[in-house]
Amino acid sequence: MFENNPRILAIHDLSAFGNTSLMAVIPIMYHYGISVCALPSVILSTSTMYEGARKIETTGQLEGFARHWKDLGMSFSAIYTGFLDSPEQVDSISRIVQEFPTKLVLVDPVLADDGKLYSCYDQDMVPAMRRLVAQADLITPNYTEACLLTGLEYQSDPGKIELEVLCKALVALGAKELIITSLPSQDGSVSRVAYYHGKNGVMSTYTCQYIPCFFPGTGDIFSSILLAEVITGVKVENAIQKAIDFVREAILLTLNQEHKAEEGVLLEKLLCGRIRNL
């Protein structure tokens, strides 16, 4: 059980403009009544969907921030990591995770998508992220990231047996539970998500209608809703469906408005509508 007044440590990039990373994590957590201590891995002028984004790197400051919190006697119900800037930064975050024991460490191992590593990374980032995954209770890689972390071949339509092999390989890295998003399928009308519990070895899959569009930050929103639901007492299996439904609703709402895709989904309108309905 989590505390009545939970607080999370959210370690993500801060894009000053756009509903991604901390700009998505913080309002979602507040919506659920969860306090946030934010640790920006980098500070960006906009989301990376915009050309020429300005960047401030923070690696040298992270452990100093953590020492200050330690001196203040701060503690956290959960730690939640997203985009990290370099292997050196990943190792700093690993040390911070060790300094603050929590009931849940959620690692979103941001590395890649669509079968390839993000252009801001080189291959050294993969073993670094494996070291962080080893400290996680729950991880939320997309399919490409799951393949990179395990060294298994990317497939265009992985079946049940292939997914079980992939899940077991991720558990062997140290993760206790995992959710794999963006599973490719030859049936282009659906999108799939897989959940695997390492202790009982049971895998579940979820399907939803595929919406042919792209908005940055939907992965951050998915993991944030998932974590918030779990912290407030929802089982992981049910929290996954709630996260899927929320992201789908956010995308559909945004598509019905005049809105630049680079800004991400209209998170503020969706959350505002939900607050009014309380």
d(CA 112, CA 62): 24
Tens digit of pLDDT for each residue in 165-191?
999 999 999 999 999 999 988 877 788
Query: Is residue 277 predicted with pLDDT exceeding 60?
Result: no
Question: 113-152 b/e with 16+ CB inside 10 Å = b?
Answer: beeebeeebeeebbebbbebbebbbbbbbbbbbbbbbbee
Confidence at 273, pLDDT banded by 50, 70, 90: confident
Q: Which tokens in the block code for residue 250?
A: 């956010």
Tens digit of pLDDT for each residue in 145-156?
999 999 999 999
Tens digit of pLDDT for each residue in 28-45?
999 999 999 999 999 999
pTM: 0.95
* pLDDT > 70 in the chain, percent: 98
The answer to whether the beta carbons of residues 217 and 188 sit under 8 Å apart is: no
Residue 4, C-beta contacts closer than 8 angstroms, at least 6 positions apart: none
Tens digit of pLDDT for each residue in 73-93?
999 999 999 999 999 999 999
Mean pLDDT of 190-215: 92
Q: What is the torsion angle, in degrees rounded to the nearest 10, for the CA atoms of residue 91, residue 97, residue 98 and residue 104?
A: -140
7-276: CATH class? alpha beta
Q: What is the DSSP string of 141-176?
A: -BHHHHHHHHTPPP-SS--HHHHHHHHHHHHHTT-S
Query: Is residue 113 predicted with pLDDT exceeding 90?
Result: yes
- pLDDT attached to residue 278: 47
Q: In 3-state terms, what secondary structure has residue 213?
A: coil
Q: Which tokens in the block code for residue 208?
A: 């939803």
- pLDDT attached to residue 1: 62
Q: Among residues 214, 213, 194, which one has the least CA distance to residue 204?
A: 194
> pLDDT averaged over the chain?
94
Domain-by-domain residue ranges, the chain? 7-276
Question: 99-110 b/e with 16+ CB inside 10 Å = b?
Answer: ebebebbbbbbb
- pLDDT attached to residue 2: 76
